[in-house]
Chains A and B, each alone.
Chain A
Amino acid sequence: MRSIDLSQYLNGLSSYTELRFHENSNNDIMILNGNVVSNTKSVQGGVSARVFKNGMWGFSSSSDGTSEAISQVLKLAQNNADFLGGKSQSQDKKLEKSSGKFTKEFYTKKKKWSQKERIDFLQEVDTYITKTYPQLSSRALGFSCIDFSKQLATSNNSNGQTFLPRSHFRLNLTIEKEGKSFSLADTKGGLGEIEDVFSEPKDLFSMIDDLFHHLEKKKEGVLAKGGVHDVVLGHSITGILAHEAVGHTVEADLVLGGSVAGELLNQTVASPLVSMTDFAHSAFGEVCHVPVYIDDEGTPSQDAELIKNGQLKTFMHNRESAAHFGHKALGNARAFNYFDEPLIRMRNTAILPGQSELKDMISSVESGYYFTHTSNGQADSTGEFMFGVPMGYEIKNGQLGQAVIDTTISGVAFEMLKTVDAVGNDFKWMSSGFCGKKQRMSVSFGGPSIKCKINVGGQ
Chain B
Amino acid sequence: MELLKKTLNQLLSKGAEKAQLVFSENHKQEFNVEANEISLLRTNITKSLSLRVIKDGKQGRLSINKVDELSLSQAVEDVLSICAASPVDNGYDISSETGKFSFSSGKEEVKPEEAYNYLKAYLQQSQKEFPQVQQESVMVSYDYSKVFVVNTNGLLADINSGQYSVSNMFTAKEGERTSSFNFTGFLTSQLDVPLMEKMSTRKLLNESVLHLDAKPIGQKFNGDIIVTPHALTGFFLGGLLSHLRDGRLIDGSSYFKDKLGQNVLSSRLGIQVYTCDPRFAVSAPMTSDGFISKDYSIFNKGRLDNYLLSQYGSNKTGLGQTYNDGGLIEMSAGEMKLEQMIKNTKKGLVVARISAGAPGANGDFSGVAKNSFYVENGEVKYPIKETMISGNLFEMFNSMSEVSQEVLNNGSAILPWVKFTGVSVSG
Contacts and interface: CB of A to CB of B under 8 A. Distances in A.
Interface of A: 32-33, 35-46, 55-65, 76-77, 80-81, 83-84, 87, 90, 114-116, 118-119, 123, 137-138, 140, 174, 180-183, 223-224, 226-227, 253-254, 256-260, 263, 339, 341, 375-378, 380-382, 384, 386-390, 405-408, 410-412, 438, 455-459
Contact of B46 (A43, A63, A80, A115): A63
B64 interface: yes
B362 A384 contact: no
Contact of A60 (B42, B137, B220): B42
B87 A381 contact: no
Given A137-B252, A376-B357, A406 B364 contact: yes
A87 B181 CA distance: 28
B86 A36 contact: yes
Given A61-B45, A181-B253, A410-B368, A39 B385 contact: no
B357 A408 contact: yes
B180 A83 contact: no
Contacts of B292: none
B250 A381 contact: no
Contact of B61 (A39, A44, A182): A39
Interface stretch (B153-161, B171-179, B296-304, B328-336): B171-179
A223 B364 contact: yes
A60 B251 contact: no
Given A59-B41, A137-B252, A183-B360, A380 B180 contact: yes
Contact of B357 (A41, A341, A388): A388
B1 interface: no
A263 B139 CA distance: 27
Interface in B369-427: 370, 385-386, 388-390, 424, 426-427
B64 A43 contact: yes
Contacts, number: 257
Contacts of A384: 180, 355, 368, 370, 385-386
Contacts of A381: 136, 171, 178-181
Contact of A174 (B61, B253, B386, B427): B253
B165 interface: no
Given A138-B251, A386-B367, 8 more contacts: A32-B251, A35-B316, A56-B40, A83-B41, A174-B253, A386-B357, A407-B390, A457-B366
Contacts of A118: 85
A344 to B, nearest CB: 10
B59 interface: yes
Contacts of A43: 63-66
A41 B78 contact: yes
A152 to B, nearest CB: 18
Contacts of B194: none
A381 B427 CA distance: 19
Contact of A260 (B47, B178, B357, B359): B178
A60 B250 contact: no
Contacts of B305: none
B86 A45 contact: no
B368 A40 contact: no
Contacts of B37: 90
A39 B250 contact: no
Contacts of B43: 59-61, 76-77, 80
B112 interface: yes
A135 B247 CA distance: 20
Interface string B172-211: 1100101111000000000000000000000000000000
A375 B365 CA distance: 12
B38 interface: yes
A457 B390 contact: yes
B147 interface: no
A183 to B, nearest CB: 5
Contacts of B47: 63-64
Given A119-B86, A182-B360, A408-B366, A63 B59 contact: no
Contacts of B85: 39, 114-116, 118-119
Nearest to A77: B43
B121 to A, nearest CB: 14
B39 A57 contact: yes
B357 A254 contact: no
A459 B339 CA distance: 29
Contacts of A181: 253, 360-362
Contacts of B38: 56, 84, 87
B69 to A, nearest CB: 14
B44 A408 contact: no
B151 interface: no
A457 B62 contact: no
B17 to A, nearest CB: 16
A38 B45 CA distance: 28
A339 B46 contact: yes
Contacts of A380: 180-181, 355, 370
Contact of A40 (B62, B87, B386): B62
A116 B161 CA distance: 39
Contact of A258 (B173, B316, B356): B173
B390 to A, nearest CB: 5
Given A35-B250, A57-B40, A138-B252, A253 B176 contact: no
25 contacts: A32-B251, A35-B91, A39-B86, A56-B39, A59-B41, A60-B44, A61-B45, A63-B45, A64-B47, A77-B43, A80-B41, A84-B38, A84-B39, A84-B40, A87-B38, A115-B82, A181-B360, A257-B169, A258-B172, A341-B40, A380-B370, A386-B367, A407-B390, A455-B388, A459-B424
A20 to B, nearest CB: 13
A226 B178 contact: no
B264 interface: no
A341 B251 contact: no
Contacts of B3: none
Contacts of A254: 136
Nearest to A412: B386
A387 B63 contact: no
A66 B364 CA distance: 52
A216 to B, nearest CB: 15
A256 B33 CA distance: 12
A137 B173 contact: no
Contact of A386 (B44, B247, B251, B355): B355
Given A41-B78, A59-B41, A386-B355, A182 B46 contact: no
A64 B181 CA distance: 38
Contacts of A62: 44-46
Interface in B243-301: 246-247, 250-253
A412 B215 CA distance: 13
A382 B358 contact: no
B178 to A, nearest CB: 4
Nearest to A39: B86
B228 to A, nearest CB: 18
Contacts of B44: 60-62, 339
A83 B66 CA distance: 30
Nearest to B354: A386
A376 B235 CA distance: 13
Contacts of A410: 355, 368, 386, 388
- Looking at B40, B84, B86, B250, the one whose CB has the most chain A CB atoms below 10 A away is B40
B137 A140 contact: no
A86 to B, nearest CB: 11
A115 B83 CA distance: 9
A388 B40 contact: no
Contacts of B426: 226-227, 457-458
- 10 tightest A-B CB contacts, nearest first: A388-B357, A457-B366, A257-B136, A116-B85, A181-B361, A258-B171, A115-B85, A226-B426, A406-B360, A42-B63
